[in-house]
Structure formats: C-alpha cells, structure tokens
Structure 1
C-alpha cells in the first residue's frame, strides 16, 4: 500500500529512465556529485498542507538514524555523511548532505558520483514523512487518524491483520486513479479468498503458495490467472575459471538445451516465468525472445567445444541448498542435459548454512543455484553490481574487457539515451558469453476479474500501481 499512500520524488522505468513525480525537474551538478530537485508547484499532504522539500530531507535523516534502524537505509549511503551517521561514527546528522534550500528545492551532495542514484529515489526509503505526526504520536503515526501521506490514496481505516480501506486523496496533484475507494482484505483463509473472487466480491486477488497451486489446477481460475514479472531472476552460475566452463560455447550449449517452460511447470510451486535472459525485462526494457530448446544448436556448440555427443565431458556437480524446489530443479536439469547433450550433472545438496558459506568461497565448483532481486530499478544494480569483472560478486570468475568497457561508457554517458545504449551493448555481451544460465524470473500472480481492463504492478516493490489499473465499463 505504500505505493498508493505515498508518492516519491521520481518514478523509475526500464533502462534507468526516470520520470517526474513529486519532483517536477532536477539538475545534475558537479559532475554527478550533487543534485538539485525542484518539487512541483502545489504538492500537498492529504490534509491540504503544503508538501515541502524539508519533508524529504528530514525523512532521509530519520531513516539513517541508528536508533530508528530503517530497512534499506543503505540505499542512502551514497549521500555524503550518510553512512557515517547510520553506523554511529557521527553523533549527529549534521554531516548528512541533504538540505532544503527553500520550500520547493532539495539539494543532495554525494560522496562520489553514483550512477543510478536518481532511480534510487523511487524507493520507499526516500519517501517524505510527516514530522509533526511522528514526533507527536510516536509509533501511532501510522494510525489512520494520524497518518498524513501524499499519494493518490489516503488511509481511512486499518484493521490490523484483517484489512484496510483507502479513499481517493482529493489533494493529490498527480495522475488520478480511476476509483474513489479501495478495500483490501488480508483474509488468511485460502478458501475464503478464492470464494471472494469466484463470487465477484473481489476484483483482484494475489495468490501464492497453496492458493497459486489451487488456481493453476482449476480451469475457471486458471483462465483468470495473470503473472507479472517482479524484477528478479533465478539462474545457474558457472565457474568460468576452469574447463570446460571457461568455454563460452559450453555454457551457451547448456543454456540452449533447456526447456524452460517445462522446468517452470515441473519445478516451481511459487509464481515464476520462464527466463530467456539473465536480466529481467523490467530492467532492460526489452523482452528476450522466447522459444523451445534449440537442441541442434546446443549439440553443435558442444561438439565445437570438443565434446561431440557429450564424449569426454567431465562429470559435473550442481550445488544448491536443501529445498524441495531446488532438488526438483537439480533432477530436472540432470535429466534434460543427459537426454539432450549426453552429459552427466549430479546434484550437490548442502544445508543452508553450508550453502551460504559456499557462495562466499565456492572453491572448485561447477554450477550453483543463484538469484537476484533488484533493490532499485536501474541497470547498474544488475550489470555493474553483479557482473563487473573486478567485483566478481557471484564468484563466476568471468572476465570480459568488452563488457567492462560498456559499463565505463554507461558511467560517462551524457544523456539517458546514450547510457541506455551502452547498457544494451553490455547486455548483448552478457547474453552471448553466458557466465550464468537463466532459469526463471520471479513473478507475482493475480486472479483478475474480466472487468479489470488493465492491471500493473511495480516490479520492484510488488505493489499494485493503481495509476495503471483500468476497469472496463
């Protein structure tokens, strides 16, 4: 609900593109070391009071307060002085370089240029907060009687654990929503939730776990089931530092041989979508081309790498932690690769603590199960943070001068389009080299009534984007 109750300074889109929200405009200063953001005229809280730049500055400093311990406060660390204050190395927030120059201008100074910083501003940890209510009401500031917010909706009732009701915020100056009231039920009973949908009492029902499996097994419900990508991926990291995994053709062969649709249907209990690329479309803005396994292409690549029909290919291990899902994946991968390529990949199951230690220092491994969910919607959080050679964040031991060069070009790009183009080139190298093998995109699943003409979620938070929801007459 945070996405509906609060509006951020900007909204983040694919390829690092940001669009105005509360901030009508901004200037990038001092070579990317500072930003000046101008709030739109007439921005207000839901009680009609003016929303000011200081509401953002105070909120950010509060979220950095070590005594508050706000989740995701590390996303604020690029701000000069932020990390020192959050970690208790500075006694006060005076050194945190964010300030309201006037009522509508917010100035931020960073410790160093940080690509993707603007996209971070869409995250809830950067939302404005109502200082008077927080200081006056303490933990009760989120009570509907006290809560001041600046989003499209205002909270009018909250029965904790049961549900909430929100009404349209008449003081909201952004894109209007197509309804006056939203009722959200937190019903825990699976049958009750599905019954509410069947009866038409609920327009949309999010389903996961047993509910999701029940919806997939029911013909009528399956017809109304829609999956939405959640800016996260499951993939297999290959040890590119040793043979045969050092050969890109081997890695690509194993990827081409997979029937991802069958894997998704056979392995996963939770909502996922077949992944045809390592980076989700919500980040790159481009859908990878789906298709059946290319067995001919896979066999040709493997033969070209010196292993025709799998001959001479050394036995390999797939490492994962103890879990029904990952065990099913291990068995399905082993079967598909043996049938398609004639190679042997055996399961290597570890207890959770052992697996965590393994991912920090995997040693002489072959393949292991990995995943990533974006923290903020910008390519830097995928391409730079995961795959830059000098970081080797996933211990893939993959080195690509071409890929790293495109990252440098992206950092130096003077325009949004030039930056996006550099990341597209980096993506092409990543997919061609395949240091990891994509399996599935994380997803959210909803049952939607036929009268819901359009429905959209925020891929990072998973919250429903009410501005993208349309009801047919």
Structure 2
C-alpha cells in the first residue's frame, strides 16, 4: 500500500520519477517518449530469461495508417494492424489478392462491435417506431462491401458471442417507411433534423455519411453529422442531450457476455449511454446474476439481445470487427489472441 501511495500521483508517468518501477516480467521499460516511442528491453532478472529470444522491442507511436503502411513496406516496422494502427482500407484489396503478401497477411476474429447508440430520451428517437424505422433503413451489407472492402462481418445484434440470436437481415426499406408513417411522419414529412455524433477518423466519417445517405434516400430524413475530437467525443457520451445517435463501439474486456449487456446497458448499474430503461431487461440481467448454468445464461442473454436490438432498438449494430495484420516473416512464433495479451517472450527473430 505504501508503494502504491508513493506512485499514485504519477502512476501513468513512471519516467518522470527518479526511482525506477520494479518489474518481474520478461521485459522492462527502458525508455518512453510520449507520443513518439516506447522501448522494452529483456529483463535480466526474469526467471526464464534464457528463453527470451528478442532482446528489445520498440513500439512506435504512429497516428496515420498510410504512414504506417509505408514504414512496414520499407522495413521500419515489423507488425502493423490489429487494434493499434489499422491497415488503411485502400490497401486491403491489394494485400488480400497479392501473392507477395502470402504468409504476411492475417485476418482474425476479435470480440469487437461497431455500432451506434440511440438517445432514447431525445425527440424524435424517443419513439420506438422511429428507432425501428431508422435501423431498418441502413444497408449494412452495402457499407461492408463498398466501404470496408468486405473485411468485416455484418451485425444485427450487439454481442458477437450471441450472433445466432438475431441473424436475420434487418435491412427492410418497405417496413422502415411503414414504421415511420405509423410514427406520424409519412414520407419523412415533418421529421426534424437529427444529429449523428462520432469521433473523428476517416472510416468513422465514411460510415456516418453512408448512414446519412441511407436515411435520406429511403426515409427522406435530414441528418447533420457532428465529427468530434476524442476528448470532446468522450464528453459527449455523457451528454446525450446533444445527439440523437452516437458511434458506440465496444471491445470485450473479458470473454463473457456480462461484459456487453450487463455492464453497458443495465438501467441501474452501468453508464447506459442510451438512457434506455426497461424493467424486462433489468429482470433478465438480475436472473443472469443468479444463474450458473451456461445454457440458461445464454438463453437469458439472447432474450436480452432481442429486447435491446429488436424490440426496443436502443442500439444500431453495424458490424462485428475482424483484425487485419501484416507481420514480417522474420517474426517467428507470432500468434493472434482475440482479447490481446500475446507474449512476446515466446517469439523469436529469424536473421538472414
């Protein structure tokens, strides 16, 4: 406890301290220049240090995917992609088809969902029929095929592990128009402009524009896009009065559905950015808390997914993410883990 209190004020900035941070892992922090580079070196005091074959690992902080791709092609970096710096979309088709990248390119499943959350308390998306209409007007397959080059998996529910619960294509312009008419907005007449907020990035903007175009084309709805810097975006998540829809992705912290439904949408003990409050959903989550049987838990979670994404339509899933990597062939022993946590101590380098 004394050690924790000693470093508490500078917990995230160990290099600002005169006293080094103690590490018993296979690598220790050797240098860190914020926003530029982090260097790890083999820990000579690690119990199995003789089997740690890579002496130094450098993490370069690069914010531009195109620059990262150039650095990979020039040999300046050995691994590109995953949840860090993503491979630029305009390179994806060539990489997948070019035999030159055989043995270097990997496409792997991860537990991440790309979605948008509704502010269920803000007019006019406070009406279920309106939310269902908007959800049914989005052509997810078109977005994945043309914007994402077919490299992701279409999502009709929020939790990847429960994809079998809602696997019917929800894109249905005819019903979308019917529901909007039933909500009182025949042919989109009288429907107010809505705001879609998202954190700034090339792909987020392209997807937001595609959603805007779908809503305008099929429902005659006007949409205003609000791209935000990261700091403002995180603030906006806590200020739902400023948006109707907001980009709301999630990657699992641990491989259990509780991390998706209970921790994100529980009406009483989660941040619940949608502000959706369902007694039925709450009762399902409370039942899950007292259920140990896996099949029973899965059935309860499936019911909760149907409430969240279909009956109430509080969130609008777009796709389940896949990770795309380029790995230099000189890296031996590299492997993918859906939740991260690869041990570099198990890798090695092949020198020519």
- What residue number does 1:460 align with? 339
Asked whether the 8 Å contact 1:276–1:290 carries over to 2, the reply is yes
Structure 1 residue 392: Cα displacement: 5.5
Structure 1 residue 210: Cα displacement: 4.5
Larger Rg over CA atoms: 1
- What residue number does 1:158 align with? 55
Give me the whole-angstrom Cα distance separating, in 1, the residues matched to 2:126 and 2:282.
Answer: 18
Q: Which secondary structure state, in structure 1, belongs to the residue aligned with residue 227 of structure 2?
A: strand
Structure 1 residue 344: Cα displacement: 1.3
Which structure 1 segments of 5+ residues have no match? 1-60, 70-130, 163-185, 197-203, 449-454, 465-473
Structure 2 counterparts to residues 111-190 of structure 1, below 5 A = 134=24, 143=42, 146-148=45-47, 155-161=52-58, 189-190=71-72
- What residue number does 2:63 align with? none
Asked whether the 8 Å contact 1:230–1:462 carries over to 2, the reply is no
Asked whether the 8 Å contact 1:229–1:273 carries over to 2, the reply is no
Specify whether residues 359 and 192 from structure 1 end up closer, same or farther in structure 2 by C-alpha distance, changes over 3 A only.
same
Structure 2 counterparts to residues 68-467 of structure 1, below 5 A = 134=24, 143=42, 146-148=45-47, 155-161=52-58, 189-191=71-73, 209-210=86-87, 213-218=90-95, 219-220=97-98, 227-267=107-147, 272-281=152-161, 284=162, 286=164, 288-289=166-167, 291=169, 293-391=171-269, 393-432=271-310, 433-446=312-325, 457-461=336-340, 463=342
Question: Structure with the greater relative contact order (CA < 8 A, sep ≥ 6): 1 or 2?
Answer: 2
Q: Deviations over 1:195-229 (max 9, x none)?
A: x9xxxxxxx98676446642423533599866333
Structure 1 residue 256: Cα displacement: 1.8
Give me the whole-angstrom Cα distance separating, in 2, the residues matched to 1:354 and 1:187.
Answer: 28
Q: Which secondary structure state, in structure 2, belongs to the residue aligned with residue 234 of structure 1?
A: strand
Specify whether residues 206 and 363 from structure 1 end up closer, same or farther in structure 2 by C-alpha distance, changes over 3 A only.
closer
Give me the whole-angstrom Cα distance separating, in 2, the residues matched to 1:188 and 1:160.
Answer: 20
Structure 1 residue 409: Cα displacement: 0.5
Specify whether residues 456 and 261 from structure 1 end up closer, same or farther in structure 2 by C-alpha distance, changes over 3 A only.
farther
Give me the whole-angstrom Cα distance separating, in 1, the residues matched to 2:92 and 2:204.
Answer: 22
Q: Which has the higher mean CA deviation after the structures are superposed, 346-355 or 425-434?
A: 346-355
Give me the whole-angstrom Cα distance separating, in 2, the residues matched to 1:233 and 1:240.
Answer: 20
Give me the whole-angstrom Cα distance separating, in 2, the residues matched to 1:220 and 1:446.
Answer: 15
Asked whether the 8 Å contact 1:209–1:270 carries over to 2, the reply is no
Q: Which secondary structure state, in structure 1, belongs to the residue aligned with residue 126 of structure 2?
A: coil
Q: Deviations over 1:250-306 (max 9, x none)?
A: 21221222111332355459964432221223xx37474264832222222222322
Give me the whole-angstrom Cα distance separating, in 2, the residues matched to 1:292 and 1:446.
Answer: 31
Give me the whole-angstrom Cα distance separating, in 2, the residues matched to 1:388 and 1:268.
Answer: 32
Specify whether residues 213 and 234 from structure 1 end up closer, same or farther in structure 2 by C-alpha distance, changes over 3 A only.
same
Which structure 2 segments of 5+ residues have no match? 9-21, 31-39, 60-67, 328-333, 344-352
Give me the whole-angstrom Cα distance separating, in 2, the residues matched to 1:366 and 1:271.
Answer: 28
